[in-house]
Amino acid sequence: MKNIFSILKFTFLVVILFAIIYPLAIYGIAQFAPNNGKGEIISVNGKVVGYQKIGQKFDKANYFWGRPSAVDYNAAGSGGSNKGASNPDYLALVQKRIDTFLIVHPYLKKSDIPADIVTASASGLDPNISPQAALIQVKRVAKIRNLSEDKVKELVETKINKPVLMGTSTVNVLELNVALDELK
């Protein structure tokens, strides 16, 4: 009976600590984060269009496309395909993405396509693409929107986020597309 009482006290203590105190502490810390810990929201004319750190599906030809998603951009269930680079199903899927990309971008060769535009990230929610992946889409987007390629290329170049200390340059697809919509 003595052991059972000790176990119950310990269980009660752990429940109080991890189910009440810890969540309240994290909530309190989040109040000092941008937007009170609710994420970095991007809005246009007061309407929320997305979150800066979560990828979205852009598949219309008049927008820049982001990375594919193995979870169809579902933030509730992020994850990759968990298929290895030599898996035949995975290779077929990537080839299908390449073929689709080449159909819409007939001026490109397969070797011109950066890997990040046809492969999903580990989370399936990567909001960024490489500058190369954005720049190879300039011709398509400019043509469909009746804009000069130079103007669209200049917009892409203003949206390139350079690394602070180390890493690679990226382009946030949502921010780029919002800026594209604002471009006259």
Q: What confidence score (pLDDT) does residue 122 get?
A: 84
Percent of the chain with pLDDT over 70: 99
For helices 138-145 and 149-158, angle between their N-to-C axes, nearest 10 degrees? 120
Q: Model's pTM, two decimal places?
A: 0.78
At residue 105 the predicted structure's pLDDT band, cuts being 50, 70 and 90, is very high
Q: Map residue 159 onto helix, strand or coil.
A: coil
Say which amino acid occupies 75.
A
- Nearest Cα neighbor of 147 from 179, 173, 184, 181 is 184
169 versus 43: the higher-pLDDT residue is 169
Q: What confidence score (pLDDT) does residue 77 get?
A: 77
* Predicted confidence (pLDDT) per residue in 107-154, tens digit: 999 999 999 999 988 888 889 999 999 999 999 999 999 999 999 999
Say which amino acid occupies 184.
K
C-alpha span between 149 and 146 (Å, rounded): 9
Q: What confidence score (pLDDT) does residue 74 get?
A: 82
Across residues 10-30, what is the average pLDDT?
94
